[in-house]
Amino acid sequence: MTRSRIADFQNSFLVRVAGARVAILLVFHAVVFAACYALAWMVRFEFRLPATHIALLKGSLPYVVMLQLLVAIAFGFLRGWWRYVGIADVLRLVSGTFTALLILNVLWYVVDWTQFTPLVGVSRGVLLIDWAFALLTLLAHAFSSASAKTSRGKARSPRVRGMY
């Protein structure tokens, strides 16, 4: 094999791996958002979810998760899961999850004008608990991922850029 063919193979392989990584991160975020939303419903009703609210949970789940995924993509959550966690990364997570919460609350309040029925009957408390769970879960994953990557080969704690 010539050098150019080896370089072409390596480049095409890296492009395929990068695409698979983005797909895996997208699925990971979808699972996190869905689990946090379902857990928020359970916490809101003290783990005794009334039968009437199960239909609300099932009906609103795809819309809430889709909106959260779109905001995650817009805020760049799928880029670089992380060797070093910087303040910019943390702020991006906080602002992105808060933006999703804000959009959901705006949709909740303007449901009469927009006729967006999937949020009818959804408690604002559920949306707030979901925001907290999603933010904490994504931050915990980011810091644990950074910790695992920095501890390979060296025994040191993860660094938060901009903090030290």
User: pLDDT (tens digit, 9 = 90+) per residue, 93-129?
Assistant: 999 999 999 999 998 888 777 777 888 888 899 999 9
Q: Which residue has the tokens 């030290």?
A: 164
Distance CA 136, CA 34 (A): 14
Structure tokens at 145: 């991922």
Predicted pLDDT at 97: 96
Distance CA 122, CA 98 (A): 18
Predicted pLDDT at 162: 52
Decide: helix, strand or coil at residue 2: coil
Residue of 134, 137, 130 lying closest to 104 (CA atoms): 130
CA-based radius of gyration for the chain: 20
Predicted pLDDT at 43: 96
Instruction: Mark the ranges of the chain whose per-residue pLDDT is less than 70.
Output: 1-19, 80-84, 146-164
Indicate if the alpha-carbon torsion angle 10, 15, 20, 26 is positive or negative: positive
pTM of the model: 0.78
Predicted pLDDT at 8: 59
